[in-house]
Chain A
């Protein structure tokens, strides 16, 4: 059993170039300052990745860090963060995934894995109870991720596997790292980094156990957190219907990505993706480690073309990206998700780049000769065929595999159809249809066009008002809800104004980002019921009970803020420019559902966000004072 409490106590560093490995002991100061998960990764990537390198070169470093609370019974503590320099954005690439990988990693004796160099030929890693072996992966290379898993799971029963599929091997820039059969570290192209290292899979299994510092306290805080989450009004809907909950109101707001952001919502969306239709395909709930919500669904297609297809799916992101973004049918989105998992591709990016290709085809910039067949929105078969071409880099797939930003440069005026922020494809929400903390978060996100790092913990989907000059959104809850929020009084009173009943988007964005960064550090899920009820107070209590390292709520949220600022510094070092924080031109020039973004006002909110962060109001560079406060002053 390990000596350290809560943490497994070691970071494993593997250099694939010389097949060397090193175990570095964790020290308490590093733990306090960066907590775990994305915090660890921020520091490891900052320290280990040389400035200005190519993301697909051997110098890039791929880091996996389990969240601190992972392995404990704390509700939803299952998340592991993977990070590297991103081949999509050239900035900090990072992605978070749940299930059981983190638990096994910690039980195998490591809180984090750092993978450097490039293997001469395909290999996979096997890590078990502190021992590491590197195996030849020649027999696995070329197989898709499900075939590979069938082999590895049989060979190593009980193990968890992080692996790449066909897309990762072919260095498709938005390839993802698969986490078992149905989950992934998807965004920012980490699978291409893993592929560039000739690393097919990481197999982890462990029995070492994690010793909590104070079992009694840990169980007490666990049951308190559980009651809090269960009492959230978002809990029941999420438990029964999962993340698809948000799809309907966003459809009503005309705030979905429909046919490459050309419409707010498809005309037949409501009918084809209605709740009863989705429920007909789904049964059974599936949970990650220690989760009390179980938002994932088991999907079975019982009739039609895709009959017999069964997998964990019907998550809002792939369903909307393919179903609305490319106009596919509900059943075909499941098939697309299956292909996404087998090939190991980020489904938001894959759907985004294909939607762009279809639009370019409609505009006449791509012709039938370029592809070999005609493509159109809503044509399931050709979209799936195009997806296959991308994974294998065949024909036009060779161009599209470079991602939206790079592919658009190949066509004259392709940029007008390229819906991305900082090189990462826009997620499935359209900021024109609903402007909120969530949509400002797409602009301020440290990983580019993505919606998962900033969400108002009390987002009210009953209201969608456009009368606040982009500064505010409606709060719409009562005093009791306000008081129950675990936000420090000072920030709460600035962010939420009960009298006119509004939420200040800039200030709430900063808070939401720090809160989500804290969740990603300690390994807790960001699902709305959790984000709504769990905050720094209870997490500090849980952290102290589990690890024995005393930390206050103020310090713990500051650790999350430190990681966020360090990542911003990394991005600036890698050449991020102030003007990169910009939506695609379409949002300012073409209205959807009668709504359009006002560029000057959006930039104004962005500046207010910079002020709330203590960053330079024009350049978005972390200020000297803020860096001093966070103990990062020598790094800026």
Chain B
């Protein structure tokens, strides 16, 4: 995998433009729930963490899939889905540690980020630079989540009380 969607949650302002841009591009609807990226909002900690498919090497969603429609594309390294075989059981959602599989209730299938074929809409719309599309070498330079971890401690990464 030579291009990565790098999330720098320190910079995220929680505006939700990535969600809208994704939803409009993929479904023609202004509805954040239809997006393949979503911002995890820790309002009372002042923290916003955009979550999307990380295209894991050993993808747990692929292991969980009952219909074997999820696989890795050997050329791009992306996790891809054969949607015509998807029964919408949402087992992959349960397996995903990033809550990055989104249920498209218009088509009744579960979808994930596909990097928009190499030109991600969310990155274009992100006003703060929290989302970037980078090569492997560049991506290694980004120290993501440092500020986030500092701001709420490691406990902040687990949903909890204010």
Taking CB as reference atom, which chain A residue is nearest B16? A289
> At the interface with chain B, which of A58-66, A211-219, A397-405, A621-629?
A211-219
Tell whether A73 pairs with B31 under 8 Å between CB atoms, given A290-B15, A292-B17.
no
C-alpha gap A215/B24 in the complex (Å): 8
A44 to B17, CA, bound (A): 31
In the complex, residue of chain A having the shortest beta-carbon distance to the beta carbon of B18: A73
Query: Of residues B17, B20, B30, which shows the largest number of chain A Cβ atoms within 10 Å of its Cβ?
Result: B30
State whether A211 and B29 are in contact (beta carbons under 8 Å apart), knowing that A284-B151, A287-B15 are contacts in the complex: yes
Interface segment, one of A202-210, A255-263, A535-543: A202-210
B23-58: CB near A (< 8 Å → 1, else 0) gives 110011111111000000001111010000000000
Asked whether, in the complex, the Cβ of A287 is within 8 Å of the Cβ of B13, the reply is yes
CB atoms of B31 and A210 under 8 A apart = yes
**What are 5 A-B interface contacts by the 8 Å CB criterion?**
A181-B43, A209-B27, A215-B28, A284-B10, A284-B151
Residues of B within 8 Å of A285, CB to CB, are 13, 128
Contacts of B161 in A (CB 8 A): 150
Chain A residues closer than 8 Å to B48, beta-carbon distance: 286
In the assembled complex, the CB of B119 is this many whole angstroms from the nearest CB of chain A, namely: 14
Q: Is the beta-carbon distance between A71 and B17 smaller than 8 angstroms?
A: no
| Beyond A72-B20, A209-B23, A293-B127, 16 extra complex contacts between A and B, CB < 8 Å | A73-B20, A73-B125, A103-B32, A180-B43, A209-B27, A210-B31, A226-B127, A284-B13, A284-B151, A287-B14, A287-B127, A291-B127, A292-B15, A292-B127, A294-B127, A310-B46
Q: Which residues of A contact B (CB under 8 A)?
A: 1, 71-73, 100, 103, 107, 150, 180-182, 207-212, 215, 218-219, 226, 283-294, 298, 310-312
Residues in chain B near residue A72, CB distance under 8 A: 20, 30
Interface size on B, residues (CB 8 A): 32
Residue pair A181, B30 in contact (C-beta under 8 Å): no
- From B15, B46, B127, A298 is in contact (CB under 8 Å) with B46
In the complex the two chains form, is A73's CB within 8 Å of B46's CB? no
Nearest residue (CB) in A for B126 is: A292
Tell me the complex Cα distance, A208–B34, Å: 10
Please give the distance in Å from A72's CB to the nearest CB on chain B.
Answer: 5
Find chain B residues with CB under 8 A from A283 CB.
147, 151
Given contacts A107-B31, A207-B105, A310-B46, contact A219 B24 (CB under 8 A): yes
- Cβ of B113 within 8 Å of any chain A Cβ, yes or no, is no
CA distance A207 to B30 in the complex (A): 10
Which of B10, B24, B43, B147 contacts A73, CB < 8 Å?
Answer: B24
B124 nearest in chain A by CB position: A223
Within 8 A of A (CB), among B106-162: 106, 125, 127-128, 147, 151, 161-162
Chain B residues near A182: list those with CB within 8 A: 43
CB-CB < 8 A to B16: which residues of A?
Answer: 100, 103, 287, 289-290
Q: B31 — which chain A residues lie within 8 A by C-beta?
A: 107, 207-210
Contacts of A207 in B (CB 8 A): 31, 33, 105
A210 engages B15 (CB within 8 Å) = no
Q: Which of A209, A284, A290, A310 contacts B34 (CB 8 A)?
A: A209
